Structure 1
């Protein structure tokens, strides 16, 4: 064989092999699962966890006391609310890289967007008010505009907004109250007394039933909110310190973490009964349901770890060390919120 032809053929084979390898690497990178984000409230940073290896791969500094996080309507950023830092840090949900920081957002402890993407609401946990913003995205720049600051009772805690983007429900933790605010007018519709130390809320997809976790008790209260003012339907025994909710994504079940009892209850929100209980260590708090429908993530507040629960085995199958007082947990690879 002519040496020149041999060299050309060899180079051709090498080029094809190289292209194939690069294509495989590119495909693998494109298919890499998005990271899991855990907010370390007492470290002012975010633990970034690789779900393939279940290891913390880096820490991302944010503001003081990050507690909760939420995806922007365009799904391009995760907003980390830094309560004591009076700021919101935007992270890329696929890489956890910091995109930008909004300052002057006063005490954003909890945060929610309305489904119509018009309203953004924050609960100022330490300063006893609720802020209602409009948002705009011009040329890729995200901007919040404060419409009204509404004085609230003691320690506004968590927010739920109905599917029609009309009403925001807010728990007032140390007033032991629930209040409803009309978003369009920013007026308080009503305030009622509820059980001891109300925390997170779960509004069923039909907007009819509102569940409230009572951190100062051992139960979840279920209210009928379909006809104006909330009316108590029933109390669901769960465990001491009922606190945070996360939908299973199957249009029927929701989990509640019982922080003091060290358990998680699975509630059928159609029958308003507990159907499963999972043991968890050291103060279970916020949760995330993975898209596989089998894996539930929960921050163990007092142990500084992220616990991974296999729902089929009904057991904690691994724990990943994170920072101090981990609170919010989130990943783009999550189950439906319904």
Structure 2
């Protein structure tokens, strides 16, 4: 028995506390069907079943039932400016990158300085990528890729953008100089993609297969596979020195610690609920783990693998984006507690003080929305985010918090990247730069 959505397939074990059953979503229709085989006395009628993912019943059951079905009906379709970037010479490859929250330079590499600023948007339900001119807000092109593209990931050497075709078992390369796709590379279950800090290995997060595949970062030949003791691994980030990284497991609430050199699991922390994005905090010691069902961030001591605090940010916390100077942390809140979401939900962006991790501002989406994942513009003046359940992209002004652009794209936009980005290397995802 499996659950399928946007090309992502999960086993029955993803539902906790012995509750048998599964969700089967048509990967392109967005329909949801819940079937429950009772093993714990919880009857199907007790499981929240709502139109458009209504929040109340879901929150009440969130600690008992990890996932609920949302039947998406047709009726539901209703801080200080960052310095301007400058070009710097490209560094020689090798070595370990610095902390992501405070990269050594806010400048674009010389070989990237003349690139047109573009947003590359993977549309998971359309099997396409939409390319947008950041300055003019104009859609330049839309092209087909593999099935269920999830994220667009800059390569470690910043020369290629990789589209993660999760459902199609492939990676599609994009040349950032031309914006054109190349021939897809076969790779098993690439939900997400990262790179070790020394640049020697790519780390493919195979969510359905519950493993990490370490591969050559250019040919993607598999070097090693690491099975993980959890369900639904999907996001990770590295410690400051790169010696270890933490992986979130969305469907059983675990955080797994992996030693980078030995490629072995060295610890597991049970967070509970539904962890999402993972980022190293501006202090370079703690990690920030978004939790969709808890509506906020777990603050985790990475060395001790211990939760030390929790910060409430908003409904459906998902993405974590430290500013380049570390003074702010931006948290995207999708506005829903179901993976199918709904139209025009209470999505928002919470702005945290980078030192205290207290929420100092909260930006809303006029009329409702579903900000998911993205990145900053090269000058840091805007934060571009995919509207996951609303088939659009938002550009937030990082000084005022206003939505300055709202651009229609394909169906189910997910992990967009804005390119180019300042920094020496990419550690993956939508542009985790160091």
Normalised-by-shorter TM-score class: 0.7 to 0.9
Matched, 1:329 2:416: yes
Q: Which structure: greater strand fraction?
A: 1
Normalized against structure 1, the TM-score is what?
A: 0.84
Aligned-residue offset at 1:293? 2.1
Q: Please, which of 258, 263, 280 is the counterpart of residue 333 of structure 2?
A: 258
Q: Which residue of 2 aligns with 1:201?
A: 278
Q: Which residue of 2 aligns with 1:211?
A: 288
**CA offsets 1:191-221 (integer angstroms, 9 cap, x no match):** 0111410000111355411000001111111
Q: Which residue of 2 aligns with 1:26?
A: none
Aligned-residue offset at 1:335? 5.3
Aligned-residue offset at 1:328? 1.1
- 1:71-86 correspondence to structure 2 within 5 Å: 71-86=154-169
- The higher radius of gyration belongs to 1
Inter-partner Cα distance in structure 1 for 2:271 and 2:328: 23
Distance 1:156 1:307, change over 3 A: same
Q: Please, which of 211, 235, 241 is the counterpart of residue 129 of structure 1?
A: 211
Inter-partner Cα distance in structure 1 for 2:184 and 2:282: 32
Inter-partner Cα distance in structure 2 for 1:94 and 1:162: 31
Q: Please, which of 319, 324, 328 is the counterpart of residue 406 of structure 2?
A: 319
Which segment drifts farther, 296-305 or 202-211?
202-211
Normalized against structure 2, the TM-score is what?
A: 0.66
Q: Please, which of 397, 400, 403 is the counterpart of residue 310 of structure 1?
A: 397
Aligned-residue offset at 1:235? 0.7
Would the aligned equivalents of 1:295 and 1:308 in 2 still touch at CA under 8 Å?
A: yes
Inter-partner Cα distance in structure 2 for 1:100 and 1:331: 22
- 1:1-338 correspondence to structure 2 within 5 Å: 31=114, 33-103=116-186, 105-135=187-217, 137=218, 142-204=219-281, 207-225=284-302, 228-260=303-335, 261-280=346-365, 281-334=368-421, 337=433
Aligned-residue offset at 1:125? 2.0
Distance 1:177 1:313, change over 3 A: same
Where do 5+ consecutive residues of structure 2 fail to align? 1-112, 336-345, 424-432
Would the aligned equivalents of 1:290 and 1:335 in 2 still touch at CA under 8 Å?
A: no
Would the aligned equivalents of 2:174 and 2:181 in 1 still touch at CA under 8 Å?
A: yes
Q: Which residue of 2 aligns with 1:10?
A: none
Would the aligned equivalents of 1:246 and 1:256 in 2 still touch at CA under 8 Å?
A: yes
Q: Which structure: greater helix fraction?
A: 1
Would the aligned equivalents of 1:81 and 1:111 in 2 still touch at CA under 8 Å?
A: yes
Distance 1:31 1:154, change over 3 A: closer
Which segment drifts farther, 259-268 or 326-335?
326-335
Distance 1:58 1:272, change over 3 A: same
Would the aligned equivalents of 1:134 and 1:147 in 2 still touch at CA under 8 Å?
A: no
Inter-partner Cα distance in structure 1 for 2:235 and 2:115: 33
Higher relative contact order (CA 8 A, sep 6+): 2
Distance 1:107 1:287, change over 3 A: same
Partner SS state of residue 308, structure 2: strand
Aligned-residue offset at 1:334? 3.3
Aligned length: 301
Aligned-residue offset at 1:165? 2.8
Q: Aligned-pair RMSD on alpha carbons?
A: 1.9
Inter-partner Cα distance in structure 2 for 1:295 and 1:173: 29
